[in-house]
Amino acid sequence: MNGRFSILILFAYLVIAAVLISTPAGAQENNTGANTSVAVPSGPLYQVSYKAAQPVIGLTAGEYSTGEILFSWSSSGNASSAVTYYADGAAGSRFLLMIKDSGDGGQFISITSRFANLLRLKINYAGLAASEIVADPPIVLFNCSLDAMASCTPGGSLPAPYQDCSRIFAGYAELVVTHAGGTMKDFEQNVLQPLKSSPDWDAADVYTFVFRKLDKGYYAEVRVTTAVCLQAVAQKLQGNPDILSAKGRQLIVNYKTIAPPPPPVTFKED
């Protein structure tokens, strides 16, 4: 009972701090995407936590499978405490970052959002030139909203968030497409047109990042800014490609060109 009461007190603090508290003078923001007055996110919450061995002066969080930077934060001095909302720009994905002294010279870092992305963190410390890279810290699921915290019980860790298409994700899904013998016309017919005509996102959210004609076929990279899972994006593709890899938010597919059968051999009579 005491444990649950402590959790409720913590999240009540998060709600109040996110709306009412500005960033302290000792932890000035250096992020034009930051916004401390936006509404509290609704829906299930996912939290990543990490204990840093010393005070933090900067942090960058990215999607581990594509390398996309989801948000970044930096301070002109050591942050003794900070609660800030961040937006990633085009998708408007908000993340609640909290930094708090641990009492032993280090700091607790927590990142809470509505998005189930597995993150890779780059942490900068005062007086150190090299950054610390934290790969794929575990996610804890809070199957409630901040508005309904009184009836919420925190869940356990979430080992495979990308396998559940009921969850939403920040940033873009990245498709790497190859086609042995394919042409730009094949690419447009099988990949671009089906993606751009999908009702699940706007056509403007589909962007061809790379298209390279090869001696035989082509190589292409397409990014789709969407909150849906990778499986839902893959289902839009036409032409029955082979799925070579589906990891996190990156899908690698290959199309094969089947050569027509040779014409039958005929013999003329003398």
Question: Would you state the pLDDT for residue 32?
Answer: 33
Position 263 scores a pLDDT of 66
pLDDT at 126: 83
| Burial bucket for residue 59 (CB in 10 Å: 0-12, 13-18, 19+) | buried
- Environment class of residue 37 by beta-carbon count within 10 Å: exposed (0-12), middle (13-18) or buried (19+)? exposed
Nearest one of 51, 64, 70 to 109, comparing CA atoms = 51
pLDDT per residue, tens digit, the chain (270 aa), is 444 333 333 333 333 333 322 332 223 343 333 333 333 445 678 888 899 989 888 999 999 999 999 998 888 766 666 666 676 554 567 888 888 888 898 899 988 888 999 999 999 998 888 899 998 888 888 766 655 545 566 667 888 899 999 999 999 999 999 999 899 999 999 999 999 999 999 999 999 999 999 988 999 999 999 999 999 999 999 999 999 999 999 999 999 876 556 666 665 555
- pTM (2 decimals)? 0.75
Residue 246: the pLDDT is: 95
Q: Please, what is the end-to-end C-alpha distance for the chain in angstroms?
A: 100
Residue 62: left (phi > 0), alpha (psi -120 to 50), or beta?
beta
Three-state DSSP state, 253 = strand
pLDDT at 156: 75
Cα-Cα-Cα-Cα dihedral sign, residues 226, 230, 232, 233 = positive
